């Protein structure tokens, strides 16, 4: 790439880095993996930068790369999360305010949602994409987005109900 293209990429990266990282976190539930996934998405974008003619579609390209990376990683057996029966007690007494507890419950619930459904929920409700844009980002039909949304919301509701019943 020439200097002008490098400068354009650097500007885009600087402006969108945190938003992409947050989206990655919502998709995977782990800040370290989110950093890795965001980096993968930006590296893929950098490789294709010269070939992308519509610079207005950059967010869509990065989002699609990010979602595919999350789904691909979830299929690898060595990356699967391992659940334990007993959660260790916190070492110090903590008083969380309601907003933090609610946020933590939501993130815990999102971890229970399968990766593809989680991707649909994040794109629809966090990124604010409509059904058509979500379908384009995921490379599927609008009907698939609708069914995955319904299933994902049902799974999330069940997980949140369990969280409420367990903690109070």
Q: What is the pTM of this model?
A: 0.58
- Is 91 inside a domain boundary? no
pLDDT digits (tens, 9 = 90+) for 138-152: 999 999 999 999 999
Q: Residue 118's pLDDT band (boundaries 50, 70, 90)?
A: very high
55 and 121 together in one domain: no
pLDDT digits (tens, 9 = 90+) for 154-167: 998 888 887 666 65
46 and 116 together in one domain: no
- The residue range of the domain holding 22 is 1-81
Report H helices in the chain.
3-28, 31-48, 58-75, 98-112, 115-121, 131-138, 142-167
Which among 81, 116, 135 is the end of a domain?
81
CATH of the domain at 102: 1.10.10.10
1 and 76 together in one domain: yes
pLDDT of 98 higher than 50: no
């Amino acid at each position: 790439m020439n200097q002008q293209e490098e400068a354009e990429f650097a500007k885009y990266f600087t402006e969108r880095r945190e938003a992409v990282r947050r989206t990655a976190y919502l998709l995977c539930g782990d800040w370290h993996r989110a950093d890795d996934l965001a980096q993968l998405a930006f590296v893929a974008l950098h490789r294709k930068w010269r070939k992308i003619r519509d610079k207005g579609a950059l967010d869509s390209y990065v989002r699609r790369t990010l979602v595919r990376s999350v789904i691909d990683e979830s299929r690898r057996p060595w990356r699967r999360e391992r659940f334990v029966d007993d959660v260790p007690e916190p070492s110090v007494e903590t008083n969380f305010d309601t907003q933090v507890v609610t946020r933590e419950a939501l993130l815990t619930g999102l971890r229970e949602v399968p990766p593809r459904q989680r991707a649909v929920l994040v794109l629809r409700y966090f990124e604010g994409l409509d059904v058509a844009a979500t379908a384009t980002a995921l490379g599927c039909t609008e009907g698939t987005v609708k069914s995955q949304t319904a299933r994902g919301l049902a799974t999330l509701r069940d997980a949140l109900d369990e969280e409420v019943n367990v903690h109070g």
